[in-house]
Amino acid sequence: MKQNPFSLEGKLILVVGAGTGIGRGVAIQLAKQGADVALSYHGSAQGAQEAVEEIESIGRRAISIKANIGEVRECQRLVDDAVTFLGSLDGLFNNAGLTLTKDFLNVSPEDFNKIYNINIRGQFFTCQRAIPYMNKRGEELKSISPDHFWAGGSIVNVSSVHGTAGFAGHSVYAGTKGAINAFSRELAIELLPNHIRVNVLAPGTIEVPSYYSDPGYTRELGNRIVPGGRVGLPADVGYVATYLMSDASEFMTGHVLTFDGGLTAKMAIELKPTEGTRDK
């Protein structure tokens, strides 16, 4: 293992869905810790390019790649293009996703297909394409330095607190997040012999630019929603992602890490508890 297992020096990582919000924050934080990064985007070309420029300014290599991961061929091309630029692949951070808020009875087949294609189908097939490259990376490192300990490849799939807790209007979205949790646990077991770990990061309220499309949203409101007293930021997710991509997390696989400032740990009931005992 590296002298500093938390360092990402020499790591080659693809961040899917990095033109804005969480993905962009993660990509920048990974680079700050030493990684070279390929960033994918679909509609946020300017944000992705600005992230590339910021990463290059700190001395790391970066590229932005446009891809629609709702299409399997695009998932495959994205991973191939990322490896062409990076030279190999140590890590995959699957962040791209869409949110749909709609009453269950109003959800159309088109709504369902769109959200499932992006949120779970896209993650499934980017993982599938990335794994052979990660296997090759391990073989290459071993051949170059037989005594070098390769901590393994790392896949982090982004889910949500909606995957384990209910909230009105999110039947389709929550379904995709629950699917990500289950699929990732299964994949972690399948990849144990490959020395590739798979974990899920399930954020709660993380303030991203799209929050401000709601005229009622303010930072103060976000801070009130979270029991911890402040809304999460993309950089916060980046800190956890850095650990999961580092050699320090070599013993962690198959886990869903809830990251929400206490949101799901807190009971929804707002009554103040009274002291004493009573029958159940």
For the segment 153-197, what is each residue's pLDDT rounded down to a tens digit? 999 999 998 888 888 889 999 999 999 999 999 999 999 999 999
Burial 235-258 (b: 16+ CB within 10 A, else e): ebbbebbbbbbbbbbbeebbbbeb
pLDDT at 38 (0 to 100): 98
pLDDT at 112 (0 to 100): 95
Question: Judging by beta carbons within 10 Å of its beta carbon (0-12, 13-18, 19+), is residue 222 exposed, middle or buried?
Answer: middle
Which domain CATH number covers 33? 3.40.50.720
Is 212 part of a structural domain of the chain?
A: yes
State the catalytic residue, choosing from 41, 133, 173, 243: 173
pLDDT at 54 (0 to 100): 97
pLDDT at 154 (0 to 100): 98
Is 4 part of a structural domain of the chain?
A: no
62-82: per-residue pLDDT in tens? 999 999 999 999 999 999 999
Query: Which structural domain, as residue segments, surrounds residue 164?
Result: 12-259
Is 173 an active-site residue?
yes
Q: What's the rounded Cα separation, in Å, for the pair 169 and 55?
A: 37
State the catalytic residue, choosing from 177, 184, 243, 249: 177
Is 160 an active-site residue?
yes
Is 274 part of a structural domain of the chain?
A: no
Mean pLDDT, to the nearest integer, of 105-115? 95
Q: What's the rounded Cα separation, in Å, for the pair 237 and 202?
A: 10
Q: In total, how many domains does the chain have?
A: 1
Is 159 an active-site residue?
yes
Mean pLDDT, to the nearest integer, of 103-131? 96
State the catalytic residue, choosing from 160, 171, 184, 246: 160
